[in-house]
Amino acid sequence: MSTLALPAPRPRAWLTDLPVLGVAAVWGASYLAAKGVTTQSTVLAVLVLRFGIVLPVLVGAGRRGLRALTAAQWRGAGLLGLILSGIFLLETYGVVHTSATNAGLIISLTMIFTPLAEAAVTRVRPPRAFLAAAALSVLGVVLLTQGGGFTSPSGGDLLMLLAALARTVHVLVMARVEAVQSAAALPLTTVQLGTAVTVFALLCAAPGTGSTPWDAAASFEPADWAGLLFLSVLCTLFAFFVQMWAVRRTSPSRVSLLLGTEPLWAAAVGIVLGGEQLGAVGLLGAGLVLAGTMWGRRATS
């Protein structure tokens, strides 16, 4: 990541940068944590537990903001919550069926898909440099998913690709729903997570959808609880409040660039702590994904 050009920091800017980098690191580690605590039959149960734990904290912290939301803002936030539930379902089922390294790198394509989708909506052609960066990233994903030889991508790889597309839809809808643009971040996020938890709970209640949250919790070992709390407390509560704090002390573009190191952390954690191996072709693909996404971010900044 030494090639990433950041805006010149203000004095003592590292005091803000370090917590934001911490968010990128825990998000990168979240794929391995989710893979360790989740199985095919416990995806919905883990999602209910993960967000159900932090939701009361968010409601308590943002109760005044929730009361101030208009009916239109509630509807807009609810719509975003439905999309968010789809993102988490795709990501969590995806990481069960692929490596944490692949998951973190493939999801980074959101940084490429979003400007492309925005260009399609606004009918404004993106810069040629960005198109070249997008092509480089796509080539990187192809090589990344073929690290063990040229075969069909795994189901998990395809789910992560769909999750990246769903993240793109979420960003575009958030930017175009006028009602939510004036809403404060805390109540907006709370309604979105509340909607997502409701979706997960309803799906859990349907027959044949896997373990209930109570059964999953009863079967957890200490390591499973540690992984769940990591996902809930650090990857959700800590990450959200650090973003709100950092944006008020530095520029949104700087926060975005620092958070853009997430796929690098995902790859590092997957390889070093998860013992995952990419092979020469996979490593080349990972490098191209990182180079393409960083190049693409700079081309659109």
DSSP assignments along 145-195, one per residue: TTTTSS-PPPHHHHHHHHHHHHHHHHHHHHHH-HHHHTS-HHHHHHHHHHH
Read off the pTM. 0.83
Residue 300 has a pLDDT of 63
Residue positions counted in the chain: 301
Residue 259 has a pLDDT of 75
Q: Which helix (H) or strand (E) holds 43?
A: helix 43-61
Residue 50 has a pLDDT of 94
Q: Which amino acid, one-letter code, is at 234? A: L
Nearest one of 163, 27, 26 to 92, comparing CA atoms: 163
Residue 267 has a pLDDT of 83
Extract the tokens encoding 137.
Answer: 């990233």
Residue 125 has a pLDDT of 82
pLDDT (tens digit, 0 to 9) for every residue of the chain, 301 residues total? 334 444 444 546 667 788 888 998 999 899 999 999 999 899 999 999 999 999 999 999 889 999 999 999 999 999 999 999 999 999 999 999 988 888 888 888 887 788 888 888 888 887 888 788 888 888 887 777 766 554 567 899 999 999 999 998 988 888 888 888 888 888 998 999 999 999 999 999 998 888 899 999 999 999 999 999 999 999 988 988 888 788 677 766 567 667 777 887 888 888 888 888 777 887 888 888 778 877 776 766 6
Radius of gyration of the chain measured on its C-alpha atoms: 19
What's the number of CA atoms in the CB half-sphere (13 Å) around residue 184?
A: 15
Non-local (6+) Cβ contacts of 257 within 8 A are 4, 6, 7, 297
Residue 296 has a pLDDT of 73
Nearest one of 104, 13, 98, 86 to 44, comparing CA atoms: 86
Q: Which amino acid, one-letter code, is at 73? A: Q
